Amino acid sequence: QVQLAESGGGLVQAGGSLRLSCAASGMIFRIATMHWFRQAPGKQRELVALISSTGSTNYEDSVRGRFTISRDNAKNTVYLQMNNLKPEDTAVYYCSYFGPPAYWGQGTQVTVSS
């Protein structure tokens, strides 16, 4: 049974930083492409960043240069370092793995105050 558990969210002022973690279990983590999504109130869930098994990364345009996705295969964990946070980054952040099927964590709330 695949399980994904996010942590690291919180309340931060604009310009601040947070690091999200997602611990995975029940899967062969080292061969998985992992994703971070976010969903703001009243908006659709959107892809923020992804990292392939080889370490290739891709970012949504609004976070490129501010966010960094990384992984530690020894710890079965994917990270999202978020710097220079803006109020528009406020959302619930989810990590995901598309087996198939798609697996999602429970999400972690990030709130950026202006």
pLDDT, position 21: 98
- Centre a 10 Å sphere on the Cβ of residue 114 and count the other Cβ atoms it contains: 9
Q: pLDDT per residue over 67-95, tens digit each?
A: 999 999 999 999 999 999 999 999 999 99
41, burial (CB in 10 Å: exposed 0-12, middle 13-18, buried 19+):
exposed
Q: In sequence order, what are the residues at sequence separation of 6 or more whose Cβ sits closer than 8 angstroms to the Cβ of residue 101?
A: none
Yes or no: say if 112 and 16 are a contact pair by the CB < 8 Å rule: yes
Q: pLDDT per residue over 12-61, tens digit each?
A: 999 999 999 999 999 999 999 999 999 999 999 999 999 999 999 999 99
